[in-house]
Structure 1
Amino acid sequence: MERPATVDGSRSCVFDSFSPYTTFRVVDPVSHAEVAEGERGQVVMHHISKSLLLPNNLERDMATRVRAPEGALGVSVADVTPVAEFEDSEVIEGVY
């Protein structure tokens, strides 16, 4: 879910997860170590609910790690862009 614009009028596309069912991590694409807040990395999504268990799903997106809202699990992501390469294959965007 995209956050609304900030009070000062600046706008950055920040997305919060649907915590606690879906959470994000942002990791270094090579080492898979979690990056610091404000740094870019590859998005890892976890979905845990009664109907689906999908932990550690490495996404085909790069993003900047942002602090999650108070009380939410995981982190939020901003400035999401596709990776150039995924599993040794060039990522081609378009309509499927």
Structure 2
Amino acid sequence: MTEMDPDDATRAASALVEKIKPILAGQNPGVVGAALGELLAIFVASHAPELREASFKLLLEVSENLTPLVIEEMIDEGRVPPEWREVTKL
């Protein structure tokens, strides 16, 4: 697989997320968590053994960095109260 331009990769990832959101909407949070855990395992396992730990850490770092942005979107959409902004650190 060839390297993608970072901006193209971000756009492609966002488009994929928009396709997945309707599938997850309304599901039990435990089921969603389990599904995401399985997808994470697939992602990590698809890397060569020497890259798995770094891949796992990178994915968690990306998630941690995106969480405050997603919370802001949720606040703007009225899905969660503004107080959620206070506790965005993981």
Q: Which TM class, normalised by the smaller chain length?
A: under 0.3
Identify the structure with bigger relative contact order (alpha carbons < 8 Å, sequence gap 6+).
1
The structure that has the greater radius of gyration is: 2
Name the structure with the higher strand share.
1
If the length of structure 1 is used for normalisation, what is the TM-score? 0.22
